[in-house]
Amino acid sequence: MNFKWRIFLGLVAIVSLNTSSTAFASSSYVQHKVSSGKFAIRSACFMPASAQLVKVGVKGAERMPKESDDWAVALQVLVQTHLKADGIGINSATDPLSSGASDDEVRQVISQIDQKYNSVSPLMDKKPRAVAKSAYTLGDQVGMLPCSENSDILVFVQGAGQVLTGGRATMTFLVGGPAEGAILIVTMADAKTGEILGLVKIRPGMGFLDNAENAFGEGLDNELSDMNIGSARKNAREKGH
């Protein structure tokens, strides 16, 4: 079992804790220097998104690789769109820009950062409030990304979810068991030092695959507003939140 799959199974376990709940929930954790505006966020570099879906039937679970890839793209676009709406410029970690780095060199750096993130992610999941205390870092190797020079933060988008077959849904309704649900995790790190600055978690419940915006958009806006990211607070007020 590879490391990323173990991480995913841990996320699915979170989704499944309450087998009968379909209620929306969201939370965020942020360093004071960000929420106070002392660390201004005007630009963001996005790492390639990661998402995993499983279909749970009466006889067990199976991966959904194509659907997972499509969902990862949808989640990435969602987060980018909302940050753009808050006045934040968007870059891609895979873009060599004017650095002269080859695609292979950029991919190697991305792989190294991903490995570090995968080692830190379970710790953040257990103690997310420690984000506010500067407890987590990816190290200054993030500065090796070409986009780092022109970005304030490095953004990671993770999704995990499970959908139920008709038979499994009926069984869950009658006798209990796994529920349909998902979790979206957005992590923000200092693009120069690798220090984790903010963490957002959104759990939308059933129907999350139908429309990413409907499932996650409002919760993301609310958490970005609470974190005082970009113009999110102003935009949230204009929407009546």
**Residue 149 maps to a domain:** yes
**Residue 11 maps to a domain:** no
CA distances from 117 to 35, 85, 128, 174 (A): 23, 27, 14, 40
Domain hosting 186: range is 22-51+67-164+181-238
**Residue 142 maps to a domain:** yes
The pLDDT value given to residue 217: 94
The pLDDT value given to residue 61: 81
Helix, strand or coil, per DSSP, at residue 224: helix
How many domains does the structure of the chain reveal? 1
**Residue 112 maps to a domain:** yes
| Full-model pTM | 0.86
Q: What is the 3-state secondary structure (H, E, C) of 9-35?
A: HHHHHHHCCCCCCCCCEEEEEECHHHH
The pLDDT value given to residue 239: 55
**Residue 6 maps to a domain:** no
**Residue 173 maps to a domain:** no
pLDDT digits (tens, 9 = 90+) for 6-49: 445 455 544 443 333 445 799 999 999 999 999 999 999 999 99
**Residue 148 maps to a domain:** yes
**Residue 4 maps to a domain:** no
Low-confidence ranges of the chain (pLDDT < 50): 1-3, 5-7, 9, 13-22, 237
The pLDDT value given to residue 10: 52
**pLDDT over 70, % of the chain:** 84
Q: What angle is formed at CA 128 by the lines to CA 63 and CA 21, rounded to 5 degrees?
A: 55
The pLDDT value given to residue 230: 77
